Structure 1
Amino acid sequence: MLVRPTVVPGVPRLFERFRAAVLEKVVSGSPLKQRIFYWAERVGRRRAEHELLGTPFGFLDQFRFLAADRLVLRKLRARTGGRIVYFVSGGAALDPSLNWWFESMGLSLLQGYGLTETSPVISVNPHDANRIGTVGRPIDGAEVMIADDGEILTRGPHVMKGYWNKPQATDEVFIEGWFQTGDIGVLEDGYLRVTDRKKNILVTSTGKNVAPQPLENALAMSRYVEQLVVVGDGQRFVAALVVPDFAILRNWAEKRDKHKTPEELCIDTDVIDLVRSEIDALQADFSTFEQVRDFRLLPTPFTIDDGTLTPTLKTVRRVVESKYAELIDEIYSEGES
């Protein structure tokens, strides 16, 4: 059955997978096709920056865009059904570079934000005024305020009355009529930017505060990475547990005559070097104390069944850290030697 949707909501992982599938097909093509695609991607990015940021876009740029659209971008959009008005991302943070990639393809991707307790939307980017890197403006009737400690507070008809038969829990999440979201953020010209979960902030043994979410989002842009969790609270440096995308990694390995199981790939030195190079490139813009110094590859993914993922595919950090406690200890014991 052919489906041609106009609006598609989803979690960031859905959009990451879409991009990874496209890029995997590109790299399997001829060198000429690869050059054409990446050229079209750059042209599309210039067009997106013009539309969203108001950067110059002259006659020659328009001509290039028409050619790029005809050769590449239009064909890619057709794979979504050809009628998409916009995608909407929620449930977890959307990496700005992923957002820009979709816009470069001519596919509008709007990020929103909210919780189950807020029905579940607090804010969303307008279709005609998308500001990448933010979760948009508060919806009609929703008030948003930033507390002194940076926590996002909200009130309005979108907020629940309370938890069923749990008055104490209800009292704990409200302060003077404002619902405490548990997220850290800032307001910029009416747009809300979410930094991380308040309880997720890592404090290293050297006293540095590290927000894991932006780093995890950046590293997840590697097509070789399926899932990952950054750790390091109370430790001297930041580390990561990484689940590779084995479909893509296996293809890479077999081209090098490495016909191995996931367990074997995770300890293969060439694979480790590959992932290290990806991590180093993607975290280059982060401060030194925020960067992943060491990591381990995991042969099995996080799942809902084992409790490491929520039903909305969010990683349950405490469960992951508990399940892989010995591996995490190994990272830091080696780091001290």
Structure 2
Amino acid sequence: MSQTQHVVTRLREVIARHGSRPATRIREGDRWVTQSYDEFGARVLAVAQGLLDLDVEVGGRVGLFLGNRPEWSEVDFGAATVRAVPVPLYATSTPEQIEHIARDSGLTVMVVGNQSECERVLSVADRLPDLRHIVIVKPYADMPDRVMPYRDLLRAPEGDAVEERFSGALGDDLASIIYTSGTTGEPKGVMLQHSAFVTQSDALDQFFDITPEDHSLSFLPLSHALERAWTFVVLMHGCMNTYVENARTVAEQMVLAQPTMMVSVPKLFETVYATAHQRASDSPVKRQIFAWALKVGRHNQYAYRSGRQPGAALRAQLALADKLVLGNVRAAIGGPKKVLACGGAPLRAEIEEFFSAVGVPIMQGYGLTEASPLITFNAPDDFKQGTVGKVLPGGELRIGDLGEILYKGPNVMKGYWQHEEATAETVIDGWLHTGDVGYVDTDGFLTITDRLKDIIVTLGGKNVAPQPIEGLILSDPLFEHAVLLGDNRPFVTLLVKPSLPHVEALAKARAWPGELHDWLASGELREELKKRVDELTAKLPSQERPKDTEVLQEEFTMDNGLLTPTLKVRRREVEARFKALVDDMYARLERLKEQGRGGAGGA
């Protein structure tokens, strides 16, 4: 495979054509810090030389453990220039997860962002003999001598060393190893090639008119395959990429940056939708105007979708609806969008319909890290609401046993790092077994209907493997059953069925009044269970820690359908059976969250 299928080659072509155009931007205090493509390219070369000076070999692994900043991409492309393999880690990673990924991948260099990330790495560094260098973007006082400031990594290229190393680069070189959680809970490294990212970018050109005048807002973690792949697209098209280091500031930065393109997970769209409806609920008049404006927006979109221009009366109504409601919603997301894409988790139908009515249709897509990650997507002139679009050009879809979606294409992973057996189970005769269930309609659009696996995908797009967490909780004998919930929810929560003998023993030891039925319904038991859950999960990343715990009194049996014949919990049956309890739990947590905001606002 030729070097033209390598992301560094594509970046160099952009630099040659658009060197003076802005490449990266980040908000520092109250100002923007921007660098041109020429400047970005120079930093990439300086990183490449620095890595050579640290004796990083061809195929050597370089860890990226920092928030979204231009330095993230500088190291990403710099490592690729010397044919090293970037290995991203989520900023929320615990020391245990850092140790596993660093050890499994054999990291020799780790680039961290700040003191918090550095100290987590240092806490396990003595157990990582391969990790020779730790580089920090934001140095701090009294940091250990072994930690190198990022500015010291940057070196002016010496002779032809960097170019000699890059001369052997090919499209089938590894572009990254991205660790993703599986049902076993042990993250596996997904090996992705440069050609996969380039192929995806080229495919999008058939459907989206992306030009150097466009610019994007990067706020999803770059350690996530979706944001990583999209950032490659942005930079390989000569666009400006605005980096959001703290995702909590995304609402403010959308307005400041005014991006023409953005990729997100459903959580952002859910928040905009909820906020707009909340502001319209102040009075009956506001609610009527809001509903009318959305109706006008919908009818205009229906006309465009059917290939005709809206009538004069409808266009006049739209101008007023735009002034009163729709324009304000667009302003809240930073203005009109050429690309507004959503992936990582399902998007509710009413959210999709709302943004379409506002005049900024969301293009839903579908993919997996194992597919770099794009499998299907909707496009402006080829979309169908309620679906995740058509298959990537050059790819194929097939529906297998139990309705499982199978995918074959040029962007399927090379395999799992050092896990040949898992690779063989996941990719069979070139077909990637996705673990998701769905169907393809007669027009070629894919709809996802279910998940074969139990992986929870939160509204924020975080993947959470429930079984290891449940196993951790069940290590305490007070718990008989534990079911983690959170699919398409903002965070995970927990339903537990306590062990009756252990409840009885605890109640007697604590001298609780009453009998067994009283103890099961008591606040004392609920608080004890919640305290133990918090202690057992304290070392997990925040997205894996249950935000609340509810106690179930009903027995889990085969007769009542909560257990399989092999005594496994029927997860979906449990969630359906106790839906009212679960909905109440999330509603209560949301109220507490809103009360907290109100208290903070009034302080």
Same fold (TM over 0.5): yes
Displacement of 1:307 in angstroms is 5.0
Partners of 2:321 and 2:410 in 1: how far apart? Answer: 46
2:345 to 92, 111, 118: 92
One-letter amino acid matched to 2:294: E
Q: Is the 8 A contact 1:216 1:229 kept in 2?
A: no
**For residues 101-120 of structure 1, what are the structure 2 equivalents within 5 Å?**
101-120=354-373
Partners of 1:149 and 1:104 in 2: how far apart? Answer: 36
1:329 to 526, 532, 552: 552
**For residues 135-150 of structure 1, what are the structure 2 equivalents within 5 Å?**
135-150=388-403
Partner of 1:191: 445
Q: Is the 8 A contact 2:403 2:437 kept in 1?
A: yes
Partners of 2:444 and 2:494 in 1: how far apart? Answer: 31
Residues 330 and 176 of structure 1: CA distance in aligned 2, closer, same or farther (over 3 Å): same
Q: Relative to structure 2, which stretch is displaced further, 4-13 or 38-47?
A: 38-47
Partner of 1:309: 543
Per-residue CA distance 1:288-316 (angstroms, 9 max, x = gap): xxxxxxxxxxxx9xx99745736xxxxxx
2:410 to 145, 153, 157: 157
2:424 to 171, 176, 182: 171
Per-residue CA distance 1:162-185 (angstroms, 9 max, x = gap): 101101111111222211000001
Partner-residue secondary structure (3-state), 1:145: strand
TM-score scaled by length of structure 2: 0.35
Residues 130 and 305 of structure 1: CA distance in aligned 2, closer, same or farther (over 3 Å): farther
Q: Is the 8 A contact 2:352 2:362 kept in 1?
A: yes
Q: Is the 8 A contact 2:491 2:546 kept in 1?
A: no
Partner of 1:210: none
Partners of 2:416 and 2:294 in 1: how far apart? Answer: 47
Displacement of 1:159 in angstroms is 0.2
Residue 7 (str. 1) matches residue 261 (str. 2): yes
Q: Is the 8 A contact 2:295 2:357 kept in 1?
A: yes
One-letter amino acid matched to 1:163: Y
Q: Relative to structure 2, which stretch is displaced further, 68-77 or 104-113?
A: 68-77
Partner of 2:274: 20
What's the RMSD between the two structures over aligned residues? 3.6
Displacement of 1:19 in angstroms is 1.0
Partners of 1:56 and 1:81 in 2: how far apart? Answer: 26
Displacement of 1:65 in angstroms is 2.0
One-letter amino acid matched to 1:167: E
Partner-residue secondary structure (3-state), 1:199: coil
Q: Is the 8 A contact 2:494 2:546 kept in 1?
A: no
Partners of 2:416 and 2:340 in 1: how far apart? Answer: 31
Residue 47 (str. 1) matches residue 270 (str. 2): no
Residues 227 and 176 of structure 1: CA distance in aligned 2, closer, same or farther (over 3 Å): same
Q: Is the 8 A contact 1:216 1:230 kept in 2?
A: no
Residues 128 and 304 of structure 1: CA distance in aligned 2, closer, same or farther (over 3 Å): farther
2:377 to 124, 127, 148: 124
Partner-residue secondary structure (3-state), 1:309: helix
Q: Is the 8 A contact 1:88 1:111 kept in 2?
A: yes
Displacement of 1:33 in angstroms is 2.7
Residues 180 and 216 of structure 1: CA distance in aligned 2, closer, same or farther (over 3 Å): closer
Per-residue CA distance 1:228-265 (angstroms, 9 max, x = gap): 7798xxxxxxxxxxxxxxxxxxxxxxxxxxxxxxxx9x
Instruction: Structure 2 unaligned segments of length 5 or more: list them.
Output: 1-30, 32-255, 456-484, 496-522, 524-533, 557-576, 579-603
Partners of 2:494 and 2:444 in 1: how far apart? Answer: 31
1:65 to 318, 321, 339: 318
Q: Is the 8 A contact 2:336 2:360 kept in 1?
A: no
Structure number with greater Rg is 2
Displacement of 1:52 in angstroms is 3.1
Partners of 2:355 and 2:348 in 1: how far apart? Answer: 11
Q: Is the 8 A contact 1:37 1:72 kept in 2?
A: yes
One-letter amino acid matched to 1:3: A
Partners of 1:35 and 1:132 in 2: how far apart? Answer: 26
Partner of 1:35: 288
Displacement of 1:9 in angstroms is 0.5
Partner-residue secondary structure (3-state), 2:553: helix
Displacement of 1:67 in angstroms is 2.1
Residues 11 and 304 of structure 1: CA distance in aligned 2, closer, same or farther (over 3 Å): farther
Partners of 1:153 and 1:101 in 2: how far apart? Answer: 31
Partner-residue secondary structure (3-state), 1:330: coil
One-letter amino acid matched to 2:553: E
Partner of 1:267: none
Q: Is the 8 A contact 1:125 1:131 kept in 2?
A: yes
Displacement of 1:132 in angstroms is 0.8
Partners of 2:267 and 2:539 in 1: how far apart? Answer: 18
Partners of 1:78 and 1:97 in 2: how far apart? Answer: 20
Per-residue CA distance 1:91-113 (angstroms, 9 max, x = gap): 00111111000001111211011
Q: Is the 8 A contact 1:186 1:194 kept in 2?
A: yes
Residues 101 and 229 of structure 1: CA distance in aligned 2, closer, same or farther (over 3 Å): farther
Residues 181 and 48 of structure 1: CA distance in aligned 2, closer, same or farther (over 3 Å): same
Partner of 1:76: 329
Q: Is the 8 A contact 2:367 2:375 kept in 1?
A: yes
Per-residue CA distance 1:259-295 (angstroms, 9 max, x = gap): xxxxx9xxxxxxxxxxxxxxxxxxxxxxxxxxxxxxx
